[in-house]
Amino acid sequence: MQKRARWTISAVAAAGLFLTGTATAFHDTTPARGHTKLAANSSVANTINLDSCPTLTEGYHGGCVDQLQSELNTDDNAGLAVDGTFGATTRQAVITFQQQHNVSPADGIVGPETKAALDGTAPGVAAAPTPALSAPGGTTAPGTPVTSLQYVALGDSYSSGEGLAPYQPGTDTPADTCHQSGQAYSQYVTPKPDWFAACSGQTATGLTATIASNQEQPPNAGLTQSTGLVTFTSGGDDLPWISVLLTCTKLESEILHSTLYGQPAACQQQLSAASGQVATMESNLITAYKTVLAKAPNAQVRVLNYPPLFPDRGGNTSGCRFARLNPLGQLVFAHDVEQQFVLLEQQTNAAIADAVSQVQNSAPGGDRLQLVDTSAQFGGDTGHTVSCGDTGRPTPWINSGRISLGQLTALTGDAAQRNWNQFKTDLFDVITASFHPTLEGQHQMYLALSAELPSGWR
């Protein structure tokens, strides 16, 4: 939900800054796939470079798996069905390839070494033909060609892929901080979006205004009668999440556990205010959903809710440590604040679900709108949330603190000088860059979506 992720973790790792959950939280070193407009009636999908795909394991779906299966068939006569599903048969074919080409370990995971072996034995092979798409139920409005229905990917930072740089050209500039990543969940869908318009920081009201006015759309894009699928997350930026997270952050001495910096009274005020804005957010979402349905009368619309950010740790009263500022201390949320965050997340998702239900029951075409529950895919409030520094919990699929070497230097200098006004200013960029899905988190959001995709997409 937060916007403007500006920093990478590579310099932090070199400096020895230990962050909670870093083993899986940072995957921004792999080049993103270039965004291509893939028409729904294309006879052959564009070749995908496996080097631009994430590490592939059993359970993945989409064009990257298509390409892997095609290359295995060409290189090793694997005899795989090119269906874009990485199942047990594909995994065994990968293991066989790894054994035959001395890739160790032969574990069925397609990482850099396996990709390099594939690159060295055969050129890329085009994926299977993309099927022509038809409207939901096999019918369209008069004049709408059934072979040209398109996919439009909208939403906020959880849809844009915030935090998974590099971003698409033009979406990481002072004038445009939409931060559209080739690793966002929509980019795993096959065929890919014809119009990828998700934008970090997008509110429900802003989304409605953009759709209604058809502004900032390239030629032949936008929501029209030719739109067959729309996906998005939205609503979080209608609440002051960045401000609340920033105000509720404490700096504690790690040894003495004494508070060096904190704003407990302001934190409680902002948490209360955010909770009071949930009803307004729900009203804004209802308007946005109705606008999408009206502008795209043939589209199936899938609304993804938010995966859980913070865990519900029950009786643990230690607070949630989300980053260390060695040697001064650690950034934490107090236990009671952490629990209020969990409640606010639940209120937000409940409002999204209620807005979907109201539109389904009252708006023209409401039966085309469907909720996708990503929180269940993440294991709920006890699943793959921010780690909070705990051991033995599931691997986090949400980034915790993302701090560059420059930010670390600034924050530790501010704290050493007790310059708390500047500390809060420098902390802002850290908060805006944190608490978004990792690469694995985006893939899990796709898996939740894939189970609810209409015919023609997978």
- What confidence tens digit (pLDDT) does each residue in 194-252 have? 989 999 989 998 888 878 766 444 544 688 889 999 999 999 999 988 889 999 999 98
410 contacts 429 by C-beta, under 8 angstroms: no
Per-residue pLDDT, 230: 96
Question: Would you place residue 141 in the very low, low, confident or very high pLDDT band (cuts 50, 70, 90)?
Answer: very low
* Range(s) within the chain of domains with CATH label 1.10.101.10: 50-121
Question: What's the CATH class of domain 10-30+140-450?
Answer: alpha beta
173 contacts 251 by C-beta, under 8 angstroms: no
- What confidence tens digit (pLDDT) does each residue in 311-329 have? 888 777 788 988 888 777 8
Per-residue pLDDT, 62: 74
d(CA 50, CA 26): 20
Q: Which CATH architecture has domain 50-121?
A: Orthogonal Bundle (1.10)
Q: Tell me which DSSP letter residue 401 carries.
A: -
Which range of 8-12, 255-259, 351-355, 403-407 scores highest in mean pLDDT? It is: 351-355
The two most distant CA atoms of the chain are separated, in Å, by: 71
Higher pLDDT, 434 or 54: 434
Q: Is 103 helix (H, G, I), strand (E, B) or coil?
A: coil
The tokens for 309 are: 């950010």
Which range of 91-100, 138-147, 199-208, 283-292 scores highest in mean pLDDT? It is: 283-292
Beta-strand relationship, 227-232 and 150-153: parallel
Q: Give strand pairing partners of 330.
A: 252, 324
* Range(s) within the chain of domains with CATH label 3.40.50.1110: 10-30+140-450
DSSP letters along 291-339, please?
A: HHHHH-TT-EEEEE-PPP-S---TT--S-EEEEEETTTEEEEE-HHHHH
Average pLDDT value for residue range 109-116: 88
Residues in CB range of 456: below 8 A, 6 or more apart: 40, 131, 132, 133, 134, 149, 228, 229
- What confidence tens digit (pLDDT) does each residue in 147-171 have? 468 999 999 999 999 989 899 999 9
- What confidence tens digit (pLDDT) does each residue in 333-351 have? 998 999 999 999 999 999 9
pLDDT at 133 over 60: no
Q: How many residues are listed for the chain in this entry? A: 458
* Whole-structure pTM value: 0.70
∠159-236-186 over CA atoms, to 5°? 10
d(CA 335, CA 318): 6
Higher pLDDT, 149 or 138: 149
d(CA 318, CA 233): 32
Instruction: Find where tokens 């909770």 sit.
Output: 275
Average pLDDT value for residue range 271-275: 92
pLDDT at 402 over 50: yes
- Mean pLDDT, all residues of the chain: 80
